[in-house]
Amino acid sequence: MNETKTQPRSYKDIGLVNTREMFRKAMEEGYAVPAYNFNNLEQLQAIIIGCVESRSPVILQCSEGAIKYIHPVMLPHMAVGAKAMIKELGVDIPVALHLDHGATFEIAKACIDSGFSSVMIDGSHHPYAANVQLTKRVVDYAHTKDVTVEGELGVLAGIEDDVSSEVSHYTKPEEVEDFVSQTGVDSLAISIGTSHGAYKFKIKPGEEIPPLRFDILGEIEGRLLNFPIVLHGASTVLPEYVEMINMFGGKLDNAVGIPEDQLRRAAKSAVCKINIDSDGRLAMTATIRRVFAEKPEVFDPRKYLGPARDALIAMIKTKNESVLGSAGKA
Ligand code: G3H
Ligand code: 13P
Ligand code: ZN
């Protein structure tokens, strides 16, 4: 990212917004803003159409891997295109472009300078003091450009770009006030039992999915009054798509995620941003596998990426309408 020369631009010139007002409204009205990851055109189109059709604010989220995959020069143009498409669709929804799991100051700065309106600096794998130092450095730079910053305390299990962990460590509520006041972050990602990817819990047949630690969330809410909290690793790992993938030649054994009722409860709390990537991947993969199985003669990418995009639009509308509560809030 930092090795490629991107044209300096402000997100404001693209018509994007930072997350400040989005989170203020979400906190006041008791819902969560969806943060959907994208890596390609069809995912971006689906997020835009799904959120326009459900009148939802949206955070377009890109990991460092996604930025490399798309190309850092191409990416801001996709955001420009997304805003133009929204205008054409005739419903103006607030859109933020957010760096997901930024690992270094240099990556965060490169994103800010190329048109991102929000960045995450994920120092959660560092010792506390180093996390504070790194996060504060990003905040100090980001705020000169009116870009909002998400920090993280506590470690989620699972694999992300450059940061991975076998086990999770819950956020320590006693650290949150000091972290927020020392760093100046605008929102805080916490660890209360979610994890990244499609295998969130190792459970035996007949066993229940362990509930999220709402007690820890409650303690954090009590210490950081009205402060926006972020939930990563929040895919439900929708069983219909897991079953479809397995039915059409895939192999996803024991894939399980966060039940929707727990996400509904979180969305009504100080959790203002819910991150969803895996469910979108599953919806697209399941649909593509079905097309390939049922229509082996197909080789035009539009004939399988198009239905995959439609499935993602439907999934996003359902999440916004009946899980996050963001539908109608744009
Ligand atoms: O939390 C990580 C996101 O799902 C992004 O995943 O690093 O494979 O793009 P990625
Ligand atoms: P999932 O893997 O549960 O979709 O989480 C995505 C995420 O947290 C992106 O930062
Ligand atoms: Zn994440």
Residue ranges of domains in the chain: 18-324
pLDDT at 91 over 90: yes
Residues in contact with ligand 1 (CB, 6 Å cut-off): 37, 63, 65-66, 100-101, 160-161, 196, 277
- Higher pLDDT, residue 169 or 232: 232
Q: How far is CA 53 from CA 41, 72, 199, 260, 316, in A?
A: 18, 29, 30, 21, 10
Q: Which of 39, 44, 63 most suits a substitution to test ligand 1, by most atoms within 8 Å of the C-beta? A: 63
40-70 per-position pLDDT tens digit? 999 999 999 999 999 999 999 999 999 999 9
CB distance 19 to ligand 2 below 6 Å: no
pLDDT value, residue 204: 81
Q: What is the whole-number distance in angstroms between the Cα of residue 91 and the centre of ligand 3?
A: 29
Secondary structure (H, E, C), 168-226: CECCCHHHHHHHHHHHCCCEEEECCCCECCCECCCCCCCCCCCCCCHHHHHHHHHHCCC
Pick the residue whose CA is nearest to atom 8 on ligand 1: 160
Q: Are 107 and 2 in contact (CB under 8 A)?
A: yes
**pLDDT confidence of residue 203:** 84
- Cα separation, 17 vs 11, whole angstroms: 7
Check residue 161 and give its pLDDT. 47
Interatomic CA distance for residues 55 and 75, integer angstroms: 24
Query: Amino acid identity, residue 91?
Result: V
Is the pLDDT at 241 greater than 50, yes or no? yes
Q: Residue 211, by phi and psi: left (phi above 0), alpha (psi -120 to 50) or beta? A: beta
Phi, psi of 130 (to 5 degrees): -70, -35
Q: How confident is the model at residue 319 (pLDDT cuts 50, 70, 90)?
A: very high
How far, in Å, CA of 252 to CA of 197, rounded?
12
pTM for the complete prediction? 0.96
Q: Residue 1: what pLDDT?
A: 57
pLDDT above 80 for 165 = no
**Range with lowest mean pLDDT among 5-14, 85-94, 172-181, 314-323:** 5-14
- Interatomic CA distance for residues 329 and 58, integer angstroms: 10
Based on the residue annotation, tell me whether 100 is a catalytic residue of this protein: yes
The token pair at 101 is: 């799991």
Q: Over 70: is that where the pLDDT of 246 sits?
A: yes
Out of 13, 100, 215, 277, the active site residue is 100
AA letter at 154: G
Q: Which residues, listed in sequence order, are joined to residue 59 by a DSSP beta bridge?
A: 35, 96
pLDDT digits (tens, 9 = 90+) for 268-299: 999 999 999 999 999 999 999 999 999 999 99
- Distance CA(124)–CA(272), nearest Å, equals 19
pLDDT band at 157 (very low <50, low <70, confident <90, very high): confident
Alpha carbons 287 and 271: distance in angstroms, whole number: 31
Question: Which CATH number applies to 18-324: 3.40.50.150, 3.40.47.10, 3.30.590.20, 3.20.20.70?
Answer: 3.20.20.70
Check if 39 has its Cβ closer than 6 Å to any atom of ligand 2: no
Q: Which atom of ligand 1 is nearest to the CA of 278?
A: 4
Q: What is the pLDDT of the chain when averaged over all its residues?
A: 95
- Site to probe by mutation for ligand 1, drawn from 1, 100, 150 as the one with most ligand atoms within 8 Å of Cβ, is 100
